[in-house]
Amino acid sequence: MRLPRTPATSFIAAATVAVHVVVVLTGMAEAADMIGGFIPARASGYTLPGTLPVWITPLTATLLHGGLVHLGFNMLMLIFCGRMVEAVTGSAGLVVLYLIGAYAAAGAQYLAGPYDLSPMIGASGAISAIFAAYALLYGRPRGFAAHPRIGLAVNILWLAAAWIGVQFLMGLAFADMGMSIATAAHVGGFIAGLALIKPVLMWRGRKG
């Protein structure tokens, strides 16, 4: 299948890679994480000098990554799923999913630890929203052919349960290796994508 042009996905990926290159070349990786990462405690009123306004950090955090493996995996997911989703939702729809996914991820991470001082970085939460949209758009509904609405509801619940389960298992596995991942953020972004894909498609239909 030949996909139409997907400028939003390409722009987000290019901007993310460009920021990573600049941060690495200037030797500001650790400083950038504190300046632009999402720190839950700041949303609870904790003040840190020299940081960006907390309301913008869910977005700036998506531009920061903890190394080439982190960046590479996220960009592979974004480019593959993002292009497929953008082909259906259009560029504006893809951007809406990505931005709201980023804020939903930050919100979930805040709820999981409102006084956590560790900066959350990476585009994984926003990409989780894109992946959820991809799963609903291209996945097979689970049975209930005579009742498509029930089938859709079961499919959504199944996808949400499976994703949450996988994220918690990954969190445990990485914890055993002395590493941490933003499990709550991934879950929050994914649930946002599940909830948003239908409204986004309806909005695009009205625009068309």
Domain ranges of the chain: 7-207
Q: What is the pLDDT at residue 158?
A: 67
Residues of the chain with pLDDT under 70: 1-3, 140-158, 163-164, 166-180, 206-208
Q: What is the pLDDT at residue 152?
A: 61
Long-range contacts: 108-113, Cβ < 8 Å, 24+? 108/184, 108/185, 108/187, 108/188, 108/189, 108/191, 109/38, 109/40, 109/182, 109/184, 109/185, 109/188, 110/40, 110/43, 110/44, 111/184, 112/40, 112/183, 112/184, 113/40, 113/184
Q: What is the pLDDT at residue 66?
A: 86
Q: What is the pLDDT at residue 169?
A: 63
Q: What is the pLDDT at residue 179?
A: 55
CATH of 7-207, one of 1.20.1540.10, 3.90.320.10, 3.90.245.10, 3.40.250.10: 1.20.1540.10
Q: What is the pLDDT at residue 114?
A: 96
Q: Give the C-alpha separation, 153 to 125, whole Å.
A: 23
Q: Give the C-alpha separation, 22 to 12, whole Å.
A: 16
